[in-house]
Amino acid sequence: MRSVSLFPYYAKDADDKITVPWNIKHVRASSFWPHSQGDGAVVAVVDTGLDVEHPEIKERIISPVNFTAPGYRDNDVRDKEGHGTHVAGIIGGKNTGIAPRCRIMPLKVFGDDKAGINIHEAFKYILEWNRTATEHDRVVAVNCSFGSQVYDPIMAYLIRTLTSSGVSVIVAAGNSGDGDPDTHEVFSYPAYIWEVITASAIKEDGLNAGYSNSFDGIDLGAPGNNICSCWPGGKYKKLSGTSMAAPHVTGAMALIYAMWRKREGRYPTVEEAESVLWKHIRTVDMDPFLIGKGILDLTYEPKRWPLYRVQIGAFYHKSRARVKQKEAEKLGLSTHLAKY
């Protein structure tokens, strides 16, 4: 099997000093935190590995796997490049993350010359894990801050299988943009695959980052410029790129999955989770080829959540209520008889 050339999507770095994350403020994550902080939801980070001892994350690591190791699998996912640690910190860092109480499953796929095959194996591992895991431990979202100009049908099939099985897949748009929405940088996979959620990058001023790819597959924008997050050795660093935008959305999905489970006693389907995500969008006056539906906005409002517990009738006689109950159940609705 031929390995596809893939690479992490980050454009530049800056100093390693930690600052108050502007990006956390910009997406208004703190509005969501009184209701959900990720609360144990498991997110897989398919990347360069992770500093599993970083104080921002270390208590919340689950099932690390290194697919660059001989024989494909061991649990040594030390991150020599830093990219995966940075991405994971944006998703779930205690001080740098969108979902500071989610759990991270680091799957190391970069570090040798078979990244494409490694990614296939990582996706298969998630499917394998979810088949036997309890609902609380199953992976609900996968962050893919990487891409290639070459379409990989096996990867596309595995992504489709993941989303069909209830896992959201979030992908960085790519850093080949020129800031012009009329020129489309469509050769970016898996960003251009239908089933994924594709994130473009915005700057501190809320405008699209010029390097961010533009095409009709962009779903939404999220902060990507000068993002302060974790770095190996317990350090912090600022990086820019659509690699930094995608984990904001992945963290948002962790918040949504956890909140749904708290409300409904189960995790949502991908369609249900995404329906809530699309309600957490701030519309902006920018071309949708640059920014999709808008910018991620986690302001918590009850009206953005579906209401399932609807009273459909009131009766003096229990027998008549049971008739209505059976009619509702034929429509596939969950029911509960209540006496007032």
What confidence tens digit (pLDDT) does each residue in 53-88 have?
999 999 999 999 999 987 767 899 999 999 999 999
* In a domain? residue 198: yes
Whether residue 113 lies in the annotated active site: no
298 and 340 part of one domain: no
213 and 320 part of one domain: no
User: Reading across the β-sheet that carries 220-223, which strands appear in turn?
Assistant: 72-74, 65-69, 103-108, 42-47, 139-144, 168-172, 197-202, 220-223, 295-296, 281-282
Catalytic residue among 86, 243, 248, 280: 243
What confidence tens digit (pLDDT) does each residue in 244-257 have?
999 999 999 999 99
20 and 118 part of one domain: yes
**Total of domains in the chain:** 2
* In a domain? residue 87: yes
Catalytic residue among 26, 36, 39, 47: 47
* In a domain? residue 107: yes
90 and 46 part of one domain: yes
340 and 233 part of one domain: no
Whether residue 280 lies in the annotated active site: no
| E strand map for the chain | 7-8, 12-13, 42-47, 65-69, 72-74, 103-108, 139-144, 146-147, 168-172, 197-202, 220-223, 227-231, 235-240, 281-282, 295-296
* In a domain? residue 220: yes
Residue 2's pLDDT band, with cuts at 50, 70 and 90, is very low
210 and 331 part of one domain: no
pLDDT (average), residues 275-294: 95
52 and 187 part of one domain: yes
180 and 59 part of one domain: yes
Average pLDDT score over the chain? 90
What confidence tens digit (pLDDT) does each residue in 214-260 have?
999 999 999 999 999 999 999 999 999 999 999 999 999 999 999 99
180 and 93 part of one domain: yes
* In a domain? residue 2: no
296 and 327 part of one domain: no
The per-residue pLDDT for 329 is: 82
* In a domain? residue 169: yes
259 and 277 part of one domain: yes
Structure tokens at 151: 């379409």
The per-residue pLDDT for 8 is: 56
Residue 119 domain boundaries: 7-304
Catalytic residue among 26, 54, 83, 248: 83
216 and 235 part of one domain: yes
Q: How far is CA 99 from CA 32, 252, 298, 310, 337, in A?
A: 9, 7, 11, 30, 36
Q: Dump the DSSP string for 116-129.
A: HHHHHHHHHHHHHH
* In a domain? residue 1: no
Residue 132's pLDDT band, with cuts at 50, 70 and 90, is very high
Among residues 203, 140, 191, 155, the alpha carbon closest in space to that of 11 is found at: 203
Neighbours of 267 (CB within 10 A): 19
For the chain, helix (H) and strand (E) counts, in that order, are 9, 15
Whether residue 47 lies in the annotated active site: yes
* In a domain? residue 208: yes
Global pTM value: 0.87
